Amino acid sequence: MDALVRQEVYRGIQITPAEIDQRWNEVKHRLGPNTTKKMVESKIRTELGRHKSEPALKTYVEKLREKYGTEFQAPVSEKILTDPNPNNSPELGSTDAPVTIVAFSDLECSYCARAHGTIEALVKRRPNDVRIVYRHFPLAHLHKHARYAAEVAASAHLQGKFWELVDVLFKNQKELTPKDVRRLVQEAGVDMAQLDAQLEAGKRTVEADIEAGKALGITSTPTFFINGHYIGSLPVGDGLDKLVDRALKTANH
């Protein structure tokens, strides 16, 4: 059944040369000077395919539910996150919230920036229902400045400045060289001497998140887990609220 559903959904997904060119133009300035489009085209194609396929699957499942009145679910992934926050990562929302959404994210990823706004808005709407945990997964093969930005953000978290800083970094993704990052950090009111003293701790946090992500089979960002269950990227429209509602029902039984 799962294979048939996936085949039905995925067979209509196409990646056009124009989409590949657009994504290449978005990321090429972040890559090394010797990196060509041909060298990363397969990775770009995979990334675009994933971001198209997962919302398409969720939309298809919703149509089945509406048409047949069933509780058909998207195929359950084998990826299960048992500990949502082993490294005291940044959180938004109530610590007692029954639904925990873990986001593995990359500060240079444009999809992550969009998703960041979506989940922040969700927490504002439903602060007692949802807790967000942010975890780092910089994609070094696509975003050459993402790792350092993540390490600095993880260090800033130790000063309680993570969310303010991340908002700024996501809004300035074309200015994330180490020099730019340090300027943005200082403008965000972070104590630079303390930041530098804690940078090694930030590096360890990022490395631990990357290793955890790899162990879960994560290869692209953003990737999300709801109450431990892998959902990949965020659904479109009101799909996220529906997933939260479903998770609430499960948590309350």
- Identify the pLDDT of residue 188: 93
Q: What is the largest CA-CA distance in the chain?
A: 61
Position 210, amino acid: I
Q: Are the C-beta atoms of 159 and 165 separated by less than 8 Å?
A: no
- Identify the pLDDT of residue 240: 87
Distances from the Cα of 51 to the Cαs of 141, 188, 191, in angstroms?
A: 18, 31, 37
In what order do the strands lie in the sheet containing 223-226? 91-93, 130-136, 99-105, 223-226, 229-232
- Identify the pLDDT of residue 187: 94
Q: What is the pLDDT of residues 92-147, one digit of tens each?
A: 999 999 999 999 999 999 989 999 999 999 999 999 999 999 999 999 888 999 99
- Identify the pLDDT of residue 60: 61
Q: Which single residue is written with the structure tokens 């994210």?
A: 105
Give the residue ranges of the chain where pLDDT is below 70: 1-12, 52-79, 253
CATH architecture type of domain 77-253: 3-Layer(aba) Sandwich (3.40)
Distances from the Cα of 228 to the Cαs of 10, 75, 80, 123, in angstroms?
A: 25, 15, 5, 18
- Identify the pLDDT of residue 17: 86
Map out the domains of the chain as residue ranges. Answer: 1-75, 77-253
